[in-house]
Amino acid sequence: MSVPLIHGYEVVIGFETHTQLATRSKIFSRASTAFGAEPNTQACAVDLALPGTLPVMNREAVQCAIKLGLALGSHIALESIFARKNYFYPDLPKGYQISQFETPVVQGGEVSFLLGEEQKTVRLVRAHLEEDAGKSLHEDFIGQSGIDLNRAGTPLLEIVTEPDMRSSAEAVAYARELHKIVTWIGICDGNMQEGSFRCDANVSVRKPGAPLGTRREIKNLNSFRNMQQAIDFEIRWQIEELEDGRAIEQATVLFNPDTGETRAMRSKEDSADYRYFPDPDLPPLVIAPEWIEATRAAMGELPRAMAARFVADYGLPAYDAAILTQSKAMAAYFEAAAQASGQPKLASNWVMGELARRLNAEERDIAQSPVGAQQLSALLRRIADATISNNAARQVFEALWTGAGAEVDALIGSLGLRQMNDAGALEKIVDAVITANADNVAQYRAGKDKAFNALVGQVMKASKGKANPQQASDLLRQRLA
Amino acid sequence: MSTSTPPNELHELSVSALAQALRERKLSALETTEYFLARMRQHQDLAAFLAVDEDASRAQARHADARLAGGSTAPLEGVPLAHKDIFVTRDFPTTAGSRMLAGYRSPFDATVVHKLAEAGAVTLGKLNCDEFAMGSANENSAVPPVGFDAPRPVQNPWDRARVPGGSSGGSAAAVAARLVPGATGTDTGGSIRQPAGFCGITGIKPTYGRASRYGMVAFASSLDQAGPLARTAEDCALLLSAMCGPDPDRDSTALDRPAEDFGRQLGAALDGLRIGLPREFFADGLAPGVRAAIDGTLKEYEKLGARLVPISLPRTELAIPVYYIIAPAEASSNLSRFDGVKFGHRAKDYADLMDMYKKTRAEGFGDEVKRRIMIGTYVLSHGYYDAYYLQAQKIRRMIADDFQQAFQECDLIAGPVAPSVAWKIGEHGNDPLADYLADIFTLPGSLAGLPGMSVPAGFGEHGMPVGLQLIGNYFQEARLLNAAHRLQQATDFHLRSPAGF
């Protein structure tokens, strides 16, 4: 395994991902976390930091942290500490953010994924619970900036990796895998547009073997496409700076999707002294081992384990297994179709192929597929027993999708798609096609493969698609030999 | 109690006597409230009150009367009380003694306020205190008292040229002057015990976590604790029982221990009680008059059957620097929310956000608050944190261990509340250290989170009251109150009233 170099530089990337937890109420108050409400309608006295208010830990948020730790093979701290990160900003009502600093709840662990054919593993440093800030609305609001505190106090798990990634493609693959895991285990809705899954990438470059270069942090990459663009731009920029003899200064940068460029928003000199100290309003977060075990028992199979099982039990290629375990719903669909049809590879091809194509085209979730797994499996059985061809099966699928019919065998009949498995009938058609297409026959004999394909097409056409294409071409070759 | 209490002597009645008279319908809550409102107006030059709303108090009293008519037996039904202005209240403004919160009105009641109201209490108003509870003399209040246009120091009813102590100075002065039969206070480093001692009344700070901090404007979260001030231990027991209890939905530091009747063993005999006397509490700095009063009270305890045991709390002096690191550190963070953005004071003119912050906080906070924010910010700063804050936390644990060591040899610890009697208003001038040093005997118990109280122990220099401090082990409030009550049955210091009140 070699490290990809760009103009002789090795790229080093680490990620910090703010995962918004899918709890109903905030991390330290009972206000709702629902997205999109009118400004300041979902902020209670605690979120507003009114005098005398105090934080009370939301158990559900802790449950999310436990699930993540279990999913990533991390150590779950039986006792972790909340600290105050002190700084002034108008959308930070208390003047400090409650976060975990020295002792986070999730420690270590790793995320493994396929990058092309290669298995990659990114080690995690930690994942800690913290509260989100509100939002400053700088568009003119009665001549001033407005503050919306609906988001203030929303629970976050900040997931921090080691600087283990060596390319933008690997970084994006990591982010996709993490996204898959947090949505799979149900701790995050994964909505990147709404900010539920916000990635910051720490990017640096160095000559191979040299110590780590100075990193710049790209903030708030809110789509996978932006992520790749932003990191690629940043890598090029840093290499050019170094090649031009300038040193990289540690900075926080923002990606502008319109220009495709990153730009520094603050440099290290501005970095504040956050005066972290343990929050005296919150006792240490104590997690009983029984809680962890109960959570483990209720977790269900994780995507990587499921993918391994698909390879072992169904003989699928690792690639198929990885794709099929992108979401719980897709995996369940596949497994139902595979088991009912007894054709796992065929099921895999169809779920990843025709079904995925149609779903993508209509931007539907697999849960909303008009064609159910049982219907698909009936179709797959008919392909497998050679009742219909793959092409004919697509027509049946189309009819199922549009609702023209619901029962596979009935559709095969009504659409007249039953494959011609009667050798005598096929011979007649082949002979007729040879007779009627003397030009093509002559060209084929002169060595033109295209002409042969035209002949097969004619046979299929004459059979109204019912001929088995393989049988048809075998017979043609025999007759023309 | 006589069956026909003349209305002009209601202020002589204790909380429990008033509650009983109200339950027996010998008094109405409304007439009681009117009586104390009038008395409060009559003595408003003490500067004990920061806010009154007579209509709000009357409305609460009428509700109490309606409940009394319905046969309510709530322990404090109709009894008028007043709250330190650190507790947020819906019916009254809450300032914490600061310009920063001038005119602030909380949308909710503090848990302690709520629990006392549930027990039937009527709120007479809000009591003066040092700004954000930072002070030992109530000279740091920045809010004009009721009847005045400008801030002024609370006066000690025993000598109006002297301070009442702090930070619950308004609470102590009001109870000592019999403007209210009882009041709430908060104690971070002695803010209930010291003013109670200076004003010759009884006050108790329970074990940290006994009373919910929800709705207390935070000074130092790991130390702040609510408690009552009244004239007798019996009244303190009654009030404390109503104030305490778990608050799992609002305060994670409130202990998961059910409310108790802290008065259940008031009358128990003290035979064999071992009272520990820390050597360090009786050292050279102690005023002779205070020493004499304490010694006299300790003799009473011996007569009551208690045994005096010499003990040592070797880190007593360290409590001062440790406290003045930890409390300002927490305060510097707790007070960050006062930034002019959401509530409270905001500077009128400013150039930009940073300018708004600076002007708002420069105008809104008084000198002592600024001093502590600066100390706290400094000790939490990168590079100083380990040397100051972490080190202070270590010594804090050692101080707590010292107490546990001591409690191997004794059941209660006794000593003076403060090294001297109340000093003159302005006497400490611009010397904050003089105030800090005066906290020496109350700070160790605060740092350990132990319950402590102040019991009237006679009079010292200038005829000013002296408070005996009793410190118990965790959750020993009932035992403390028992010891205080037995003393009060044998002495009459708590029954003396300052001339003119």
Which residue of the set B28, B57, B84, B98 is catalytic? Answer: B84
Average pLDDT of chain B, as a whole number? 96
**Domain co-membership, A341 together with A441:** no
- Residue A435: Cβ-neighbour burial (10 angstroms; 0-12, 13-18, 19+): exposed
> Residue B453 pLDDT > 80, yes or no?
yes
- How many angstroms away from the CA of A27 is the closest CA of chain B? 13
Residue B51's φ and ψ, nearest 5 degrees, are -155, 135
Q: Is the confidence at residue B7, as pLDDT, over 70?
A: no
pLDDT digit string, tens, across residues B45-74: 999 999 999 999 999 999 999 999 999 999
How far does the CA of residue B271 sit from the closest CA of chain A (Å)? 39
pTM of the model: 0.90
- For residues A263 and A152, membership in a common domain is answered with yes
A326 and A428 co-located in one domain: no
In chain B, the percentage of residues whose pLDDT exceeds 70 is 98
- Chain B positions contacting chain A at CB under 8 Å are 87-88, 94, 96, 101, 104, 106-108, 110, 213-218, 220-222, 248-253, 329-330, 332-333, 335-337, 339, 341-343, 353, 357, 377, 380-382, 385, 389
With cut-offs at 50, 70 and 90, classify the pLDDT of residue B4. very low
Q: What is the pLDDT of residue A268?
A: 57
Q: Could you tell me the two tokens for A22? A: 């899918």
- Point out the residues of chain A with pLDDT beneath 50: 1
Q: How far apart are CA A412 and CA A419, in angstroms?
A: 9
Q: What confidence score (pLDDT) does residue B3 get?
A: 43
CA separation for the pair A69, A302 (Å, rounded)? 12
Does one domain contain both A379 and A443?
Answer: no
Pick the CATH number of B11-243 from 3.40.50.300, 3.90.1300.10, 1.10.287.130, 3.40.50.1980: 3.90.1300.10
Whether B389 sits inside 8 A of A56 (CB atoms) is no
What is the residue-wise DSSP string for A432-481? HHHHH-HHHHHHHHTT-HHHHHHHHHHHHHHTTT-B-HHHHHHHHHHHH-
B5: pLDDT strictly greater than 70: no
pLDDT at A220: 83
pLDDT, position A271: 61
Residue A207 sits in the same domain as residue A311: no
- CATH code for the domain of A438: 1.10.10.410
- The DSSP letter of residue B390 is I
Answer for the pair A197, A191: CB distance below 8 angstroms, yes or no. Answer: yes
**Nearest residue in chain A measured CA to CA from B329:** A277
Among B214, B217, B225, B337, the strongest candidate for a mutation testing the A interface, having the largest count of A CBs within 10 A, is B337
Q: Which of B218, B332, B342 sits opposite A48 (nearest CB)?
A: B342
Q: With beta carbons under 8 A apart, name residues in chain A contacting B250.
A: 54, 56
**What is the per-residue pLDDT for A270?**
57
Lowest mean pLDDT: which of B134-148, B209-223, B417-431? B417-431
For the stretch B281-333, pLDDT in tens is 998 889 999 999 999 999 999 999 999 999 999 999 999 999 999 999 999 99
A433 lies in the same domain as A375: no
**Nearest residue of B to residue A85, measured between CA atoms:** B333
| Distance from chain centroid for Cα B21 | 27
Q: Give the amino acid at B328.
A: P
Residues A305, A275 share a domain:
no
Task: Please give the DSSP secondary-structure letter assigned to residue B495.
Answer: G
**Average pLDDT in the B231-254 region?**
98
Residue after which a domain boundary falls, among A378, A398, A415: A415
- Alpha carbons B247 and B255: distance in angstroms, whole number: 8
How many CB atoms neighbour CB B273 within 10 A? 20
From residue B475, how far is each of A324, A390, B111, B225 by CA, in Å? Answer: 60, 79, 20, 14
State whether A182 and A87 are in the same domain: yes
Active site residue B191: yes
Cβ separation A273–B222 shorter than 8 A: no
Within 8 A by CB and 6+ apart from B238, the residues are B15, B16, B19, B75, B76, B263
Average of per-residue pLDDT across B433-443: 89
Among residues B14, B106, B136, B191, the one annotated as catalytic is B191
Q: Which of A52, A273, A282 comes nearest B214 by C-beta?
A: A52
C-alpha span between B47 and B146 (Å, rounded): 7
Point out the residue among B110, B249, B333 whose CB comes nearest to the CB of A86.
B333
Answer yes or no: do A192 and A286 share one domain.
yes
Q: Looking at the structure, tell me whether residues A29 and A175 fall in a common domain.
A: yes
Residue B220: pLDDT over 70: yes
Chain A residues in contact with B357 (beta carbon < 8 A):
88
Domain shared by A384 and A438, yes or no: no
> Which chain A residues are Cβ-neighbours of B87 within 8 angstroms?
52
> What secondary structure letter does DSSP report for B489?
H
Taking the domains of chain B in order of start, what are their residue ranges?
A: 11-243
Task: Identify whether the C-beta of residue A158 lies closer than 8 Å to the C-beta of residue A201.
Answer: no
**From B343, which residue of chain A is nearest by alpha-carbon distance?**
A50
* Contact state of A54 with B251 under an 8 Å Cβ cutoff: yes
pLDDT digit string, tens, across residues B17-35: 999 999 999 999 999 999 9
Q: How confident is the model at residue B240 (pLDDT cuts 50, 70, 90)?
A: very high
Q: Which of A26, A40, A44, A50 to mutate to test the interface with B (most CBs of B within 10 A)?
A: A50
Q: B377 contacts in A (CB within 8 Å)?
A: 275
Q: Across the interface, which of B329, B342, B353 has its CB nearest the CB of A93?
A: B342
> Residue B489 — pLDDT band, cuts 50, 70, 90?
very high
Tokens describing residue A426: 């096929």
- Residue A121 CB neighbour total at 10 angstroms: 10
Given the residues B167, B171, B241, B446, the one annotated as active site: B167
Regarding whether A133 and A203 lie in a shared domain, the answer is yes
B216/A52 Cβ within 8 A: yes
Size of interface A-B (CB pairs under 8 A): 103
Domain range spanning residue A246? 5-292
**Minimal CA–CA distance to A344: which of A356, A331, A358?**
A331
- Taking any CB pair shorter than 8 Å as contact, residues of chain A touching chain B are 30, 45, 48-57, 84, 86, 88, 90, 93-96, 147, 273, 275-277, 279-283
Question: Residue B57 catalytic?
Answer: no
Q: How many domains does chain A have?
A: 3
**pLDDT at site A57:** 97
Of A234, A267, A292, which residue is a domain's last?
A292
Tokens in use for B274? 């071992």
